[in-house]
Amino acid sequence: MIKKPRIVILTGAGMSAESGISTFRDSNGLWENHDVMDVASPQGFKKNPDLVLEFYNQRRKQLFEVEPNLGHRALVELEDKYDVVVITQNVDDLHERAGSKTIVHLHGELRKVRSVADKRLVYDWENDINIGDKCEKGYQLRPHIVWFGEDVPMYESALELVTMADYVMVIGTSMQVYPAAGLVYEAPKKSPVFFIDPKPQVDKRNFQNLTVFAESATTGVRKVVDILNK
């Protein structure tokens, strides 16, 4: 069996923005006048768990109102010819719903919850999380999201995948937030890198073979997929 070349795709908020998914970094970075750290940190959860749960309950509800966009769907076309791995900073499930088969969620998933006391106890979850919803050991459930200040448990797996990439695509992310931002620099130097973002912030001197598309995810991804599938 002939081994397919591997494409590793790194996606951020811009990947889902055209589907209508709002982000932390819209305009003033606030949500109903609350600082992001109030709703996306362990300290915020300890201080006001009701607020944090409601924040993620609203975001989870939004998932049922949006659909994968043309960019998500175009990536699936690569799977016939390539070994495709999507490494996403997004917590939505739009890559899955579009049909991508291998997805690494760096920052967690909105449609999952976990125990506050045991990270191994993770459950699929589509409804609201409320105070009093508990894991099998009797501990409160929380969103299965990596908050600011917490370790990124999937980072090592993502890093290993990037180091074996024959091609890399970076879509809809400034690659300015670490540790995720460092992943693209771990790709083999010879591997072509395609960078797609309306306002790309990338130093070409860090790459031997970089192509930049200063475009939205839907239009830029279409162009790169057509190039790779020639």
Confidence at residue 192, expressed as pLDDT on a 0 to 100 scale: 96
Phi, psi (deg, nearest 5) at residue 84:
-105, 130
Q: Cα separation of 98 and 217, whole Å?
A: 14
Residues of the chain with CATH 3.30.1600.10: 22-65+112-145
Looking at the chain, how many residues does it have? 230
CB 105 within 8 A of CB 122: no
Residue 212: band (very low, low, confident or very high) from pLDDT cuts 50, 70, 90 = very high
Mean pLDDT on 107-130: 96
Q: Which of 72, 95, 105, 107 is catalytic?
A: 107
Confidence at residue 35, expressed as pLDDT on a 0 to 100 scale: 83
CB 174 within 8 A of CB 147: no
Question: By CB neighbour count within 10 A (0-12 exposed, 13-18 middle, 19+ buried), where does 16 fall?
Answer: buried
Span 1-20+68-107+151-230 CATH architecture:
3-Layer(aba) Sandwich (3.40)
Confidence at residue 34, expressed as pLDDT on a 0 to 100 scale: 74
Place domain 22-65+112-145 in its CATH homologous superfamily: SIR2/SIRT2 'Small Domain' (3.30.1600.10)
**Could you confirm whether 34 is annotated as catalytic?**
no
Task: Among 8-22, 39-53, 122-136, name the one with the lowest average pLDDT.
Answer: 8-22
Helix (H) or strand (E) holding 11: strand 6-11
Mean pLDDT on 152-156: 93
* CA 201 to chain centroid: 18
Residue 203: band (very low, low, confident or very high) from pLDDT cuts 50, 70, 90 = confident
Neighbours of 75 (CB within 10 A): 26
Residue 208: band (very low, low, confident or very high) from pLDDT cuts 50, 70, 90 = confident
Residues of the chain with CATH 3.40.50.1220: 1-20+68-107+151-230
pLDDT, tens digit, 9 for 90 and up, residues 162-182: 999 999 999 988 766 666 678
Helix (H) or strand (E) holding 87: strand 83-88
Q: Which percentage of the chain shows pLDDT scores above 90? A: 76
Residue 53: band (very low, low, confident or very high) from pLDDT cuts 50, 70, 90 = very high
